[in-house]
Amino acid sequence: MSKFYLTDPNIINAALTDKEFRIYHYCCSNYNVQKRSAYIRIVDIAGLFQLTKKEVEELLIKLSQIKVNDLPLISMKQEKFISFDMPSHKKFIESLGFKKYSNQGFRTLNGHFKQIKDAEEVKIKSYLYPTLDQYELLEKLEDLPTEELNKIKKEQLQYPWVLRNVIKNRP
């Protein structure tokens, strides 16, 4: 789970070079979802991608000029030190339901997973012979009379190719 991170699929439409894309994804992977803050260190990026500090700074400036959903990918401000933010990524995270210092987003994401799982279970229960694997289903269909076999539609079976093969191999 340590390698899991979220990123906006709209980033694909942005005009990014390969290096910019990899650096942006690295920044997304280091984004703290609970605190909604970016953790970007120029030295870490330079070491990981074997670039000079100047090259990384130039790439980050280019990333700050690219906009997705009318927000820049990276914003920078300099006070005592340079601080970074990821406005586009922050908006994407908020659209998923993640709030600052809240696990509501995780509950929302788990809710989506539950909906998908429930939909799959309903689909499986609607099949004829849902407990049979494909080999048991093959034996079951081969034992059926031709009239009953012709009444079965491929959408009613979890493994529709088994029905096709049984019908094809029937004398």
Q: Give CA–CA dist 60/144, Å, rounded.
A: 67
**Which helix (DSSP H) or strand (DSSP E) does residue 92 occupy?**
helix 87-96
CATH number, residue 47: 1.10.10.2340
Domain endpoint, select from 101, 116, 149: 101
Q: Give CA–CA dist 136/147, Å, rounded.
A: 20
Residue 67 forms beta bridges with which residues? 72
Query: Quick one: pLDDT band at residue 134, thresholds 50, 70, 90?
Result: confident
* pLDDT value at residue 104: 54
Domain that holds residue 148: 127-169
pTM > 0.95: yes or no: no
At 154, which amino acid appears? K
Judge if 17 and 71 occupy the same domain.
yes
Q: Assess if residue 27 is contained within a domain.
A: yes
Per-residue pLDDT tens digits for 29-44:
887 777 777 778 888 8
Judge if 24 and 92 occupy the same domain.
yes
pLDDT > 70 fraction of the chain, expressed in percent and rounded? 83
Q: Assess if residue 26 is contained within a domain.
A: yes
Domain endpoint, select from 86, 101, 116: 101
* pLDDT value at residue 29: 82
Per-residue pLDDT tens digits for 54-110:
998 898 888 888 888 888 888 888 877 777 888 888 888 777 776 665 555 555 666
Judge if 93 and 138 occupy the same domain.
no
- Mean pLDDT for the stretch of residues 105-124: 65
